[in-house]
Structure 1
Amino acid sequence: MDSGIAYFGSRILRHVEADLDEIAAAGYRHVLHTFSEGDQRYYLDQMVRIVEATHARGLTATAAPFGVAGIFGGEEASFFLAEHPRNRQRDEGGRIYPAACLRVPATRALIDNWLADAAAVGFDEILWDEPGWAFDTREHRRCSCDSCRDAPELDAEQALVAFLAESIATAAALDLRNTVCLLPDELALTPGQPWREVAAIPGLDALSTDPYWKNAYLPVLPFVPDSLHRLRAAIGDTSVALECWIQGFGLDLDDERDFVAATLAARGEGASRVWFWGFGAAAHMSELGESSPEAVWEYMKEVARRLAMNELS
């Protein structure tokens, strides 16, 4: 089973190249590079160089719309939200959220432009990471921004699926592979996300989830295998591949056994790839750091090496 790693936080090429050497040597075969609105504006040519360096080491390069429009996972701020304040999501009570409405034409244009840049940079694949509304949409709640008030009735779940379907179709037309990662119910604002509906979107290559047990304050077993079992049931007999993200941040030395158990659960459920977030145990980001990042990163690399050699048990 192949493994991949998320990489973010540096755009200095010589440092990125050294990190990519370490990633390749550890046995990882795939790298996710976060690709934010800031990267589009200020680092586009540098991102070309970074993706070229990734490919030069025999690694695939995946782009994630990191915090783009506040719709996807990621800690980056959105220029779009500052420049289009009227296009923000608004719930039925009138509260405005730091995320763009999925139904606004300007949001669609932003995503299409982001995809065009991702293709031009040379990425192989898009990870549509943790897409969703910024508020709980249970009990038929929907966005009440200016655009939605005048639009035909469409519940929030249907709007999310339609938004992803259009995004995936545009990416596929640019020869980009598509993966969607949905949060497990235990971590989602709205439990019971449209797993089956997303799995049925034409052009979707893989469906993933990220059962980060420490974030959910749950034991790794049975939380991780249960999440993957629900994902497998949603995929059913479609051709969509199952993938999984494993928590590789906020960990300590005592978490190694859980880290291995989560990885084995993904393999046991037939995941085609397992991904880890993220490089260096994400210790360079204060919010995600842990007490022993160097030691945690060492056992993360060892797990990747053993996966590549089919020696993990």
Structure 2
Amino acid sequence: MGMSRRRREAVAAYAFLAPDLIGLLVFVVVPMVLALGVSLFKVDGFGGYTFVGLDNFHRMLNDAALGQSLRVTAVYVVTFVPIAFVVSLALAMLVRDHFRGVGWVRTAFFVPNVISLVVVGLLWQFLLVEKQGIAANLLSTIGLGDVSLLGNPTLAFVSYVVISVWFLMGYQMLIFLAGLNDIPKEFDDAARIDGAGAWQRFRHVTWPLLRPTSFFVVVTSTVSAVTGLQAFDLVFVLTKGGPANATSTIVFYIYKQAFTFGNYGYAAAITTVMVGFLVVITGVMFRFTRGGRFDG
């Protein structure tokens, strides 16, 4: 006797999921397990492993440079994530309605996201570099003097945040746009007939129905801000973590420990703790928001 319809559907579903599951296992789970194993050893850079137990984790408690990188990363996350969220949602609301040239406007906002971050970093470095950069010359022309946008710790960090928002806002705009298009237009029309204004319609109709999309954007942008490409590529190209470690994020610090100082075991220990922290934070967000499906 052949398989039942339910069983055939289950087999088909697992078959479609198999490539992603295999990729997740090979490229995420296995490296995480290996990193956890390496974190228990001191690696001399020539293939020599010395078991040190939890020494690498204990070392983290007294590492002032690591603390600085954690503070930079924390400030970056709490500034970048909400700013990118608001800007992306505003852009999605702007281009949601069809008007002449809306396709070109959407494309223009999304184009930065398809450019290599190394190229993006080089272009912005050309614009911002002291004395020779276009932005620096423009500021000097309007009477602000020689402003070092990448040489001043505060301005370098602000520039890093602005460039990150500019790079990612097109992608998040499309996510919000998809969420907005999934909201039945009848709800907005009914609220309009009842006399609700634009802000009231957004607050009581659009925003509640957009919460699952918003949750996805917050989670992915947070993970991306901590571990994503812009957390490393832009820093590496623009500032090399400087000036005065003002843009040295946790990912860049891990890179320096592993590939500059050869502390592979210590870098693996930091990575293990960072991944564990992200898993816990994501789990807490899912638990208290039910995946963005808030009550009320």
Would you say same fold, with TM above 0.5? no
Q: TM-score, normalised by structure 1?
A: 0.23
Structure with max Cα Rg: 2
Structure with higher helix content: 2
Q: Larger relative contact order (C-alpha < 8 A, sep ≥ 6)?
A: 2
